[in-house]
Homo-oligomer: A and B are copies of this chain.
Amino acid sequence: MGDFKVDSKLVRKLANLLDETGLGEVEYESNGERIRVVRPSSAPVRQQAPAPEPSIGVGGPGNMAENIAAEPAASDKPHPGTLTSPMVGTVYLSPSPDDPAFVTPGDTVTAGQTVMLVEAMKTFNDIKAVKAGRIVSILVESGQPIEYGEPLAIIE
């Protein structure tokens, strides 16, 4: 096989195509040339989908099989500016339904500034920005139940 030239780029390209399409095998023949690439069946497909956000009320699928099959996707690292809930409860974005929101995306906040409230056991707890920055996004809706550690907002 003296002059057998393998096109590494082509192999890589097809490997990427398998990833992208979720296929297991591609075989290609053209002008007497043929290439076949196979992904082993058990190799985990690289999970591209973002990890589902935890949410109260959605609940587990209630099924070991689905759960084992859907081994929790390696969570993308949370954004370093993510503000998470320190407690279980109900989140509010404004002091009362008639008031405007504490903050809206685009606002600049100072460290310690209240950005939302969490009601737990009939008491309202201020959720404060841990550092100064700009509110990139608000990840929850007013009145929504939240669990411990749930992302509330991103501050850059």
- A-side residues, CB < 8 A to B, are 1-2, 4-8, 10-15, 17-18, 20-43
Contact = CB atoms under 8 A, between A and B. Distances in A.
Contacts of A12: 17, 20-21
Interface class of chain A by DSSP: mixed
Given A11-B26, A37-B25, A2 B5 contact: yes
- Copy total for this chain: 2
Nearest to A26: B37
Given A24-B43, A25-B37, 6 more contacts: A2-B7, A8-B17, A18-B23, A26-B35, A27-B35, A34-B34
Contacts of A30: 4-5, 32-34
A4 B42 CA distance: 29
Nearest to A38: B25
